[in-house]
């Protein structure tokens, strides 16, 4: 088949059939078929008055000179574009492929109308994928096999199958179904199955877990940081009907000003159990965290621990080898140094809330050993959400950053410990912070005299922080 021949009709198996599109596009482009001479259809699609039977694809296998090679960048772009709901998506992606054979740097031209349109489509698809991950809410039901969790979601684009692996990895240990108008996914703990589309009526309305989730959501709501416009941009109203916590939004927004004034005037009573329930829900959710790749190699999430009315919170860098195995913060060698220093400073660890900026152990394998590796800025940022929620629930008078990583997580900027150490600093959430070294720093000093000197200084930092926290408590 040559350019200018009769229109070729390509029939794809599904609306998101990227592999089918790629195979057909490669064969057509290698045979020199013009984009204007190709009609793209989806098997079983309704409403096409001009549907044609599929045309056999040209065989370009014998012509190696016509082999089509494109960059990984284009493959990733086309993969996203094919998931878009625009009926021209296949034709637009094929037109770009044909142009790339003569314009290899086409994608670098951000002003090109075709490139710009494809990039916008890909961005909309990525946003829809994110929305599904963020706004799917499972509700518990019972079937013949026992406990199952069911969710309803209405995607804007054909992203359900592309998102399947995310939900399988995140919720591998439970049986679940995600129902959407186009198709449904069902996971039994071992295998993923696809089913036909469903309706909202096929999904359950609620379950007892929602009461705890609503308690948590109401507990972390900060009226002083309310930005309604930004909230609606990130969480459009169309998703509200599927999310239990959004039933509270109207009331929370309406009372935001009054709540902000009460927060300033008084301390909310904390003995009714709601904070404990909210913290438990947060810890259980963090146990399944996949916000960054560190979750893949670590044994488990290591969450914070301590009284939820603690006046002082200690924040370290990340779990170490022993913490990763035990599931508790500061139980290894650095934890022993910290415990000894706290004891000498007259600070009772049992009255502190202790956590880390990063909740998973980052390491480099070396034989049978796992060698600590410093978290990067992306990993710190990905985990900051958990730290912020812990702080909102505990509401410490003073938060002590142990080391530069913790200081960066708390302040949102790179901090020089020597310049900021040993004095109160303002934190972005309105609280007060205090910066000192991480106890592991003392373990790395080779000179014994220097160790004694720096240990004494660390103890003095802890004493000063405790005294300042006590002053804030009575202020």
The pLDDT value recorded for residue 50 is: 54
Q: Kindly state whether residues 245 and 287 are assigned to the same domain.
A: no
Tell me, yes or no, whether 77 lies in a domain.
yes
The pLDDT value recorded for residue 55 is: 73
Q: Kindly state whether residues 289 and 177 are assigned to the same domain.
A: no
Q: Kindly state whether residues 216 and 290 are assigned to the same domain.
A: no
Q: Kindly state whether residues 390 and 340 are assigned to the same domain.
A: yes
Q: Kindly state whether residues 247 and 353 are assigned to the same domain.
A: no
Confidence of residue 237 (pLDDT cuts 50, 70, 90): low
| Residue 141 DSSP one-character state | E
E strands present in 274-344: 312-316
* DSSP sequence for 158-197: S-TGGGHHHHHHHTTTS-EEEE-SSEEEEE-SS-EEEEE-
> Average pLDDT for residues 49-65, to the nearest whole number?
60
> Average pLDDT for residues 443-455, to the nearest whole number?
95
Residue 86 burial (CB count, 10 A): 14
- Contact (CB, 8 A) for 133 and 163: yes
pLDDT of 250 > 60? The answer is no
What CA–CA distance (Å, rounded) separates 430 from 401? Answer: 16
Domain hosting 196: range is 137-202
The pLDDT value recorded for residue 4 is: 43
The pLDDT value recorded for residue 388 is: 93
pLDDT of 424 > 90? The answer is yes
Structure tokens belonging to residue 238? 């169309």
Confidence of residue 235 (pLDDT cuts 50, 70, 90): low
Q: Which residues pair with 381 in a beta bridge?
A: none
Lowest mean pLDDT among 146-160, 198-212, 364-378: 198-212
The pLDDT value recorded for residue 427 is: 92
Tell me, yes or no, whether 3 lies in a domain.
no
What is the total count of domains within the chain?
4
Tell me, yes or no, whether 1 lies in a domain.
no
pLDDT of 332 > 90? The answer is yes
More confident residue, 206 or 205: 205
Confidence of residue 274 (pLDDT cuts 50, 70, 90): confident
The pLDDT value recorded for residue 277 is: 85
The pLDDT value recorded for residue 60 is: 52
Tell me, yes or no, whether 132 lies in a domain.
no
Q: Kindly state whether residues 24 and 161 are assigned to the same domain.
A: no
Confidence of residue 347 (pLDDT cuts 50, 70, 90): very high
pLDDT of 318 > 60? The answer is yes
> Average pLDDT for residues 348-361, to the nearest whole number?
97
pLDDT of 465 > 60? The answer is yes
Confidence of residue 51 (pLDDT cuts 50, 70, 90): low
Residue that is last in its domain, among 160, 184, 202: 202
- The reported pTM is 0.48
The share of the chain scoring above pLDDT 90, in percent, equals: 60
* DSSP sequence for 7-74: PEEEEESSTT-HHHHHHHHHHHHHTT--GGGEEEEETT-S--TT--PPPPPP--TT-GGG-----HHH
| Residue 142 DSSP one-character state | E
pLDDT of 213 > 80? The answer is no
| Tens-place pLDDT, residues 284-298 | 889 988 888 999 999
Confidence of residue 241 (pLDDT cuts 50, 70, 90): low
> Average pLDDT for residues 34-50, to the nearest whole number?
79
Q: Which of 219-233, 266-280, 300-314 has the highest mean pLDDT?
A: 300-314
| Residue 252 DSSP one-character state | H
Confidence of residue 186 (pLDDT cuts 50, 70, 90): very high
Lowest mean pLDDT among 26-35, 254-263, 395-404, 406-415: 254-263
What CA–CA distance (Å, rounded) separates 42 from 463? Answer: 70
Q: Kindly state whether residues 107 and 17 are assigned to the same domain.
A: yes
The pLDDT value recorded for residue 262 is: 47
The pLDDT value recorded for residue 217 is: 46
> Average pLDDT for residues 429-433, to the nearest whole number?
90
Longest CA span, the chain: 87
Residue that is last in its domain, among 127, 149, 183: 127
Lowest mean pLDDT among 172-176, 255-259, 329-333: 255-259
The pLDDT value recorded for residue 248 is: 47
Strands 176-179, 183-187: pairing is: antiparallel
Q: Kindly state whether residues 436 and 315 are assigned to the same domain.
A: yes
The pLDDT value recorded for residue 144 is: 75
Q: What angle do CA 335, 336, 340 make, to 5 degrees?
A: 115
> Average pLDDT for residues 118-143, to the nearest whole number?
89
Residue that is last in its domain, among 246, 265, 284: 265
Q: Kindly state whether residues 239 and 384 are assigned to the same domain.
A: no
Tell me, yes or no, whether 347 lies in a domain.
yes
The pLDDT value recorded for residue 16 is: 96
The pLDDT value recorded for residue 443 is: 95
The pLDDT value recorded for residue 151 is: 87
Q: Kindly state whether residues 240 and 370 are assigned to the same domain.
A: no
> Average pLDDT for residues 261-278, to the nearest whole number?
55
What angle in degrees, to the nearest 10, is found between the helix axes of 18-30 and 89-102?
A: 40
Tell me, yes or no, whether 197 lies in a domain.
yes
Tell me, yes or no, whether 51 lies in a domain.
yes
């Amino acid at each position: 088949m040559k350019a200018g021949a009769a229109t070729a009709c390509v029939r794809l198996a599904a609306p998101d059939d990227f592999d089918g599109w790629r195979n057909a596009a490669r064969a057509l482009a290698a045979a020199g078929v013009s984009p204007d001479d190709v009609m793209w259809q989806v098997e079983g699609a309704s409403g096409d008055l001009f549907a044609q039977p599929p045309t056999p694809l040209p065989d370009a296998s014998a012509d190696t000179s016509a082999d089509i090679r494109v960059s990984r960048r284009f493959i990733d772009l086309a993969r996203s574009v094919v998931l878009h709901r625009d009926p021209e998506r296949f034709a637009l992606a094929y037109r770009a492929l044909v142009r790339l054979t003569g314009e290899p740097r086409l994608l670098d031209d951000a002003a090109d109308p075709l490139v710009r349109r494809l990039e916008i489509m890909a961005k909309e698809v990525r946003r829809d994928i994110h929305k599904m991950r963020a706004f799917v809410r499972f509700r518990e039901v019972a079937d013949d096999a026992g406990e199952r969790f069911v969710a309803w979601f209405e995607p804007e684009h054909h992203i359900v199958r592309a998102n399947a692996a995310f939900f399988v990895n995140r919720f591998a240990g439970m049986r679940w179904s995600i129902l959407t108008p186009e198709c449904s996914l069902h996971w039994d703990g071992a295998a993923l199955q696809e089913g036909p589309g469903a309706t909202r009526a096929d999904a359950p309305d609620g379950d007892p877990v929602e009461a705890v989730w609503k308690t948590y959501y109401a507990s972390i709501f900060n009226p002083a940081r309310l930005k309604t416009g930004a909230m609606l941009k990130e969480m459009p109203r169309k998703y509200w009907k599927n999310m239990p916590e959004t039933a509270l939004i109207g009331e929370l927004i309406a009372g935001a000003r009054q709540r902000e004034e009460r927060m300033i005037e008084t301390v909310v009573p904390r003995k009714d159990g709601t904070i404990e329930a909210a913290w438990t829900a947060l810890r259980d959710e963090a146990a399944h965290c996949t916000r960054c790749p560190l979750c893949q190699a670590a044994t488990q999430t290591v969450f914070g621990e301590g009284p939820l009315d603690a006046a002082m919170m200690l924040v370290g860098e990340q779990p170490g080898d022993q913490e990763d195995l035990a599931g508790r913060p500061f139980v290894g060698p650095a934890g022993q140094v910290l415990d000894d220093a706290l004891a000498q400073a007259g600070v009772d660890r049992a009255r502190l809330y202790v956590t880390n900026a990063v909740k998973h152990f980052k390491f480099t394998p070396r034989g049978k050993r796992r060698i600590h590796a410093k978290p990067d800025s992306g990993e710190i940022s990905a985990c900051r959400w958990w730290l912020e929620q812990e702080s909102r629930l505990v509401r410490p008078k003073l938060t002590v950053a142990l080391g530069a990583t913790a200081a960066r997580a708390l302040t949102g900027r790179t901090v020089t410990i020597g310049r900021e150490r040993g004095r109160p600093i303002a934190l972005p959430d309105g609280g007060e912070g205090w910066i000192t070294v991480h106890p592991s720093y003392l373990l790395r000093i080779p000179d014994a005299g220097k160790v004694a000197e720096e240990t004494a200084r660390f103890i003095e930092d802890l004493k000063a922080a405790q005294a300042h926290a006590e002053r804030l408590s009575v202020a």
